[in-house]
Amino acid sequence: MEEKKIQVDIKVPNQTRYLSLIGKIGEDIANELYRYSGDRETLAYHINLVLTEAMANAIRHANASDPDKIVRVVIFFEADELVIQVHDSGQGFDINNIPTPNAENILEDRGRGISLIRSLMDSVCYRTMKGGNILEMTKKLQ
């Protein structure tokens, strides 16, 4: 029989007060991965972080801080990968036009979010769909 796996599909208002809720859900899912043999506490923190970063990005940049919009978060498993999607309904942004942090810009207040996601996940892409955009991140689970 095929193993049933967790899938989460949740919509929250486009407000930063919900970052904690979504991050916590990500941590709890990481803690449910009974076959994961790596450092579970670190994985849970990293999933919390990438969800927080992606959602904050959607709220502020893609959805332009409009509190009437919504952010949709989908988390599921595909083969041995954890897939996290953050859907926004805004104008989007150019993920390839974000400077990589380096010695020259280390004292910038902003601009670390996408770079953090890239360093913690195995793949990151941002694509435009009908009515919005999706930031999709995947992580191989060993």
Chain contacts with other proteins (rule: CB under 8 A): 16-17, 19-20, 23, 41-42, 45, 48-49, 52-53, 56, 59-60, 101, 106-113, 115-116, 119
Residue closer to other proteins, measured from CB, 82 or 117:
117
DSSP string, 28-65: HHHHT-TT--S-HHHHHHHHHHHHHHHHHHIIIIISTT
Residue closer to other proteins, measured from CB, 18 or 76:
18
In the block, which residue shows the tokens 């991965």?
A: 33
Provide the minimum distance between the beta carbon of 26 and other proteins in the complex, in angstroms, as a whole number: 11
Provide the minimum distance between the beta carbon of 101 and other proteins in the complex, in angstroms, as a whole number: 7
Residue closer to other proteins, measured from CB, 28 or 76:
28
What is the phi-psi region of residue 34: left when phi exceeds 0, alpha when psi lies from -120 to 50, beta otherwise?
A: alpha
Q: How far is CA 105 from the centre of its chain?
A: 24
Provide the minimum distance between the beta carbon of 79 and other proteins in the complex, in angstroms, as a whole number: 27
